[in-house]
Amino acid sequence: MTLAVELPPGRHSDRHSDRTWFPVCAPSALVPGRGVAALLPDGGQVALFMDRAGRPYAIGNRDPFTGAYVLSRGLTGTADGRPFVASPLLKQRFDLETGACLDDPAVSVPVYRVREIGS
């Protein structure tokens, strides 16, 4: 099995393909509480996380406050039952389900759907 992220329209290298799922890593590459960064076909980056229940999450890896690609190195936690990652630089928290910044509602990061593919 491989985890794949759903690419938004126009974000994959083959513009003539309707394929929108991009394989990223084996589920075993994710450790609860730790992130993994992956390079997307268009040069963007995604940060993947797995919670303790085994549910994967994927958000953009770019910290919108600093412009650095570091969210995959952030600390994970929960706030009011919502999973988040805190940027390792300025510590803003981003909801792993919605991408919303819990510390500044005007800011968010992209969220990607994740699924297992293959056998």
pLDDT at 10: 60
Fold of the domain spanning 2-7+19-117:
Rieske Iron-sulfur Protein (2.102.10)
Residue 62 is which amino acid?
A: R
The torsion angles phi and psi of 66, rounded to 5 degrees, stand at: -120, -20
- Domains of the chain, by residue range, sit at 2-7+19-117
Distance of CA 99 to the CA centre of its chain: 9
Q: Give this prediction's pTM.
A: 0.90
Tokens of 88: 């390792």
> Rounded to an integer, what distance in angstroms lies between the CA atom of residue 1 and that of residue 6?
16
- Which one, of 18, 65, 72, lies nearest residue 44 by Cα? 72
Contacts of 59 (CB under 8 A, 6+ apart): 46, 47, 71, 85, 94, 96, 99, 109, 110, 111, 112
Query: Given this model, what pLDDT does residue 9 score?
Result: 78
R_g of the chain computed on alpha carbons: 14
- State the pLDDT at residue 25: 94
Q: What tens-digit pLDDT sequence spans the chain (119 residues)?
A: 999 999 987 655 555 455 699 999 999 999 998 999 999 999 999 999 999 889 999 999 999 999 999 999 999 999 999 999 999 999 999 999 999 999 999 999 999 999 999 86
